[in-house]
Amino acid sequence: MTEDASADGLVLDRARLRALLERHGLGARQSFGQHYLVDGGAVRRIVEAVAADERSTVFEIGPGPGVLTAPLAARAGRVVAVELDRSFEPLLRERLAAFPHVRLLWQDALAVDWPALVAAEASGPAKLAANLPYNVAGPLLARLYAAGGTFERLVVMVQKEVAERMAAPPGSRVYGFFSVLTQLHAKVERLFTLKPGAFWPSPKVESAVVRLWPRPAPPVDADPQELLRVARAAFGQRRKTLANALAAAAGAPKAEVEAMLRAVGVDPRRRAETLSLEEFAAIATAWPKPAGTA
C-alpha cells in the first residue's frame, strides 16, 4: 500500500497535493480550467453524497491528481475515471496502486457515449461524481442529461452561478433555458457552497456542489424535445413577450401565436422566465412542428 492509499493519505491537503504534483512535474493548467479541491471536509461530504458502496460503480469525470478518486475507491466496488489530460497518468498510477478496481480511461468526457460506457463497465448501481471545469460544465451536463436514466445519481461541483441556474424556480432572475433543461431531466438538490480558498490554485468565483436525481420519465406530459424546442425559442429573445419571441422563432403571424397561447391558458404578454415546466409542456403540445418532421 502506498502512502497516499493509507487511511490518513486518502484526502490531500494543500501542501501534500502540491508536493505530489511537483514530484511528477505537474501543476494546474489554466487552459483545462484546473483548480484542485484541497478542503478535506468538502471531499468527505462529496464522497458521502455519492453514497458509494461495494455494490456500486462510480464514474468520475476529470480525476486530475485523484483528489476524489482515492476516497471514492476506498468505498466503491468499482471506479471508472475519465480523464482528458494524460500527463496525470504516472501520478494516478502511483496514487491508486492500492486500488486495482479503478479503471482509468483517457478520453474527452464530452465525446463519451455514456449509456454505452455504463452498460459495459457498471456492475450494480451506477453513480457519477465530477468537479466540472467552468468552461465545459454546461455542455457536459447536457450530455449527461441526454443519457437518461443511466445513472442513479450525479454529484457535481460547478460554478455557484451554474448551480443557481440549475435549481432556479420560474420567476427567478437566473431562471432560463438551462433551468428548464436540468429540471426536465432531474430533481435538483443543492448541497453546499465552497469559497475560492477551498481550491488550489484559488479560482475567482465560488463553487457549489449539486446532487442530481435523474428522472425515470419527464415530470410533465409532453415530448421532451418539443418542450425544449419551445423553451429555446422563448428564451432566445427573453426580453420580448412570449408571443413575440415564439412568433419570431417560428416565422408565424403573431395573431396565430397569441391565439394558440390563449387556447392553452397562457397569457401571450408573459415572458419566458415566468413559465413553469407544465406551461412549457402545454405550449409544446400545441406548438406546430417544423416542416418535414413526423
Maximal C-alpha separation, the chain: 72
CA distance 224 to 281: 8
pLDDT of residue 134: 81
Cα 123 to Cα 72, 78, 119, 126, 256: the distances in Å are: 16, 8, 9, 8, 52
Query: Averaged over 204-226, what is the pLDDT?
Result: 96
Helix (H) or strand (E) holding 140: helix 137-146
How many Å separate Cα 8 from the centre of its chain?
Answer: 30
Sorted by where each begins, the domain ranges of the chain are 3-214, 224-286
Gyration radius (Cα) of the chain, Å: 22
CA distance 11 to 68: 8
pLDDT surpasses 60 at 293: no
Q: Which set of grid coordinates corresponds to residue 289?
A: 412542428
Contacts of 101 (CB under 8 A, 6+ apart): 73, 76, 77, 78, 79
Query: Averaged over 13-42, what is the pLDDT?
Result: 87
CA distance 180 to 161: 15
CB 10 within 8 A of CB 74: yes
CB 57 within 8 A of CB 124: yes
CB 56 within 8 A of CB 124: yes
- Express as a percent the part of the chain with pLDDT over 70: 93
CB 190 within 8 A of CB 253: no
Identical fold between 3-214 and 224-286: no
Q: Which set of grid coordinates corresponds to residue 4?
A: 497516499
Superfamily of segment(s) 224-286: rRNA adenine dimethylase, C-terminal domain (1.10.8.100)
Q: Kind of pairing, strands 207-214 and 153-159?
A: antiparallel
Give per-residue pLDDT as tens, 103-146: 999 999 999 999 999 999 998 999 999 999 888 999 999 999 99
How many Å separate Cα 265 from the centre of its chain?
Answer: 33
Entry pTM: 0.93
Phi-psi region at 256: left, alpha or beta (left = phi > 0; alpha = psi -120 to 50): alpha
CATH class (in words) of the domain with range 3-214: alpha beta
pLDDT of residue 290: 65
CA distance 13 to 41: 10
Percent of residues in the chain assigned helix, strand, coil, to nearest 5: 45, 15, 40
For all residues of the chain together, what is the average pLDDT? Answer: 93
CA distance 134 to 127: 21
pLDDT surpasses 60 at 3: no
3-state SS, residue 116: helix
Task: List the one residue out of 291, 283, 292 whose CA is nearest residue 235.
Answer: 283
DSSP H stretches of helix in 24-79: 40-50, 69-73
Give per-residue pLDDT as tens, 155-204: 999 999 999 999 999 999 999 999 999 999 999 999 999 999 999 999 99
